[in-house]
Structure 1
Amino acid sequence: MEKEHQIFGIRAVIEAINAGKEIDKIFIQKEAQGDLMRDLMKTIKRNNINFSYVPVEKLNRLTPNNHQGVVATIAPIRFHDLETLVENVLETGKAPLFLILDQLSDARNFGAIIRTAECTGVDGIIIQKQGSAPVNGDTVKTSAGAVFNVPICKVEHIKDAIFHLQGSGIKTIAATEKTENTIYDVSFNEPVAIIMGSEDRGINPSVLKIVDEKAKLPMFGTISSLNVSVACGAFLYEAVRQRL
C-alpha cells in the first residue's frame, strides 16, 4: 500500500472522513476500545464506509507509525455517480457496455480487470461499497494506470444498480456456471452490463434471481473454474467480437 494513500491515527481518520476525503477502506485493530474509537465507529457507520477488523500485526505491517489501532486508505481516484454516468453514456448514442463486480475482493484481480475493461471500451465499472476490493496502490499498479481512465461507481447495493440499469434499457448478463447457455449463445450487441462474481463464492444467489440472462464459459479441462480476471476478459472480448 502506497504511503501517500494512507492515514493513520483515530483522530486523523475521523477528521479525514468529516472533511469529505474519498476513504476507500479502514482497517481497525480487533478488540480496540475507548471513547475516541467509539466516535470513529459512529462516524464510519454514519458515512457508510467500508471497514474491517484486523490483528495489530497487519496494522504494524501497513505503517511503522503510531497508528493507535486504525489505518485508512484513501482512494487515488474520485468515484462516479451511477445515474449520471448511465445518462451520459446513453446520450452518446452508442450501445453501452458496463461491468458489475459483485464483491470481488482481491485488489490485483480488480486491477487486472480494470486494465482489460479499458482495452475493451467498457463505459463504467460498478462495485459495492461494502465487501469490495480496495482501490489502492496495488490496484493502480496492476491496472497499469487504466484505473484513471475507466469510470468506477461505488453503490450501496448491487441489486439496486441492476434495477437502475434494467430500467434504463440495459440488459444484465451474469457470468455463472449455473446455466446451459455459453457466452456464444447470448447477444452482447445491445446495451449490456456483464456481472462477475467474487473469487470464492461467485455471484450472490439473490443477484442471480434478478438478472436478464446467464452465460458461462465452455470448460474442457479438469479444473472447473478460471481466475475471475481471465474469465472477465473472455466475456469482454466476446462482446467486442460481436460488436465489431
Structure 2
Amino acid sequence: MIIYGRNAVREALRAGRRPVQEVWATKRVAGEDWLQGVKVHLADGGQIEQRAEAPDHQGIAARVGAYPYADPNALLRGEAPFLVALDELQDVQNLGAIIRTAETAGADGVVICERRAAEVTPAVCKASAGAVEHLPVARVGNLADFLIRAKERNVWCYGAAGEARTSYTDVDWRGGVCIVLGAEGKGLRRRVAETCDDLVSLPMQGRIESLNVSATGAILLYTALQARLRP
C-alpha cells in the first residue's frame, strides 16, 4: 500500500504497527524534523503524485505493509469497551473522519463491514490524519451478529436514526457502549437497527433534515466521552 500526506506517513512511522518500507518526499518536506533518521528518497511533486495516485499528497508518500485489521472479538474483551460500528459505510472520507474522531475521543476500536463498505485505503489513512495507525479497526461479515456478541458482553448498542424517539442526551453512555452509525443516505439496515438496544436521534432545529454521518458520529462520540469522564 502507498500512503500519502504528512500526517498519514508520520503516524505510520510513530505507531510502528506495520513496516514502512520506502519513503519519498520533496526536498522541502524531507528536511522536516520528524523525518530525521528516516531514509528518504527525494522526488518532485509529480513523481510523488504518480506513486500515490493522488494530487493531495502534501509532498510525501510511503510504501507500507498491508493494514493490520484487528480481531473484532478482541475489542470486546476489555472492561467497558467504547466502540463505534459502521453499517456498510461507503464513503472513504467519512470513514477516515470517523476513525479520526473515535481515536481522539478515546474509543477502543471501530468495526466495519467486510462487504459493500469502504475499507482502510490510502485515502482513508489520509482522511483519518493517521489515526488508523493507532486505533484498532476490525472487519466483520455480519454486523448484527457482532452486535449480539457485544450485548452478551454487557456492551449497550445505540444506533443513530433520525426518526428515533430517544434523544441522544437521554442515554447513559457510561460502561460498555457501541455507537452504531448507518450508511450515507440509507441509514441502518433493518436487522442492525432491531439488534440495537435503542435508537437515538439528534434534534434538528434548522431547515436541513439531517447531518453528515461523520458529524453525527462526532457529536455522539464526544457526548459519550463527556459522560464517561464524569466521576
TM-score, normalising length from structure 1? Answer: 0.67
Q: 1:3 to 1:169 in 2, by over 3 A?
A: closer
The correspondence of residues 1-244 of structure 1 with structure 2, limited to 5 A, is: 2=2, 76-87=66-77, 89-90=78-79, 95-244=80-229
Q: Structure 1 stretches (4+) deviating beyond 6 angstroms?
A: none
Code of the residue aligned with 1:205 in structure 2: it is: R
Q: 1:32-81: per-residue Cα shift (whole Å, max 9, x none)?
A: xxxxxxxxxxxxxxxxxxxxxxxxxxxxxx98xxxxxxxxxx98421111
Counterpart Cα distance in 2 of 1:189 and 1:171:
9
Structure 1 distance, partners of 2:65, 2:87, is 19
Q: Give 1:174's aligned amino acid.
A: G
* AA in 2 matched with 1:78: P
Percent sequence identity over aligned pairs: 34
1:164 is aligned with what amino acid? R
- Could you tell me which amino acid in structure 1 is paired with residue 72 of structure 2? L
SS of corresponding position for 1:144: coil
Deviation at 1:189, TM superposition (A): 1.0
Count of residues paired in the alignment: 172
Shift in Å, 1:134: 2.4
Return 5+ residue gaps in structure 2 as ranges.
Answer: 5-51, 54-63
2:89 is matched by which residue type in structure 1? L
CA distance in 1 between partners of 2:175 and 2:3 (Å): 43
CA contact (8 A) 2:173 2:224 kept: yes
Q: Residues of 2 paired with 1:199 and 1:76: CA distance?
A: 27
The one-letter amino acid paired with 2:217 is: C
1:241 offset after TM fit, Å?
Answer: 1.2
What is the TM-score with the length of structure 2 in the denominator?
0.70
Contact kept in structure 1, 2:3 and 2:125, CA below 8 Å? no
**Contact residue 87 and residue 189 of structure 2 kept, 8 A:** yes
User: Deviation at 1:235?
Assistant: 0.3
Q: Give the C-alpha shift of residue 179 in structure 1.
A: 1.5
Unpaired runs of at least 5, structure 1? 5-61, 64-73
1:180-234 alpha-carbon deviations (Å, 9 max, x no partner): 1111011101210010000110000111111101111111011101111011000
2:68 maps to a residue whose letter is R
CA-based RMSD of the aligned residues comes to 2.0
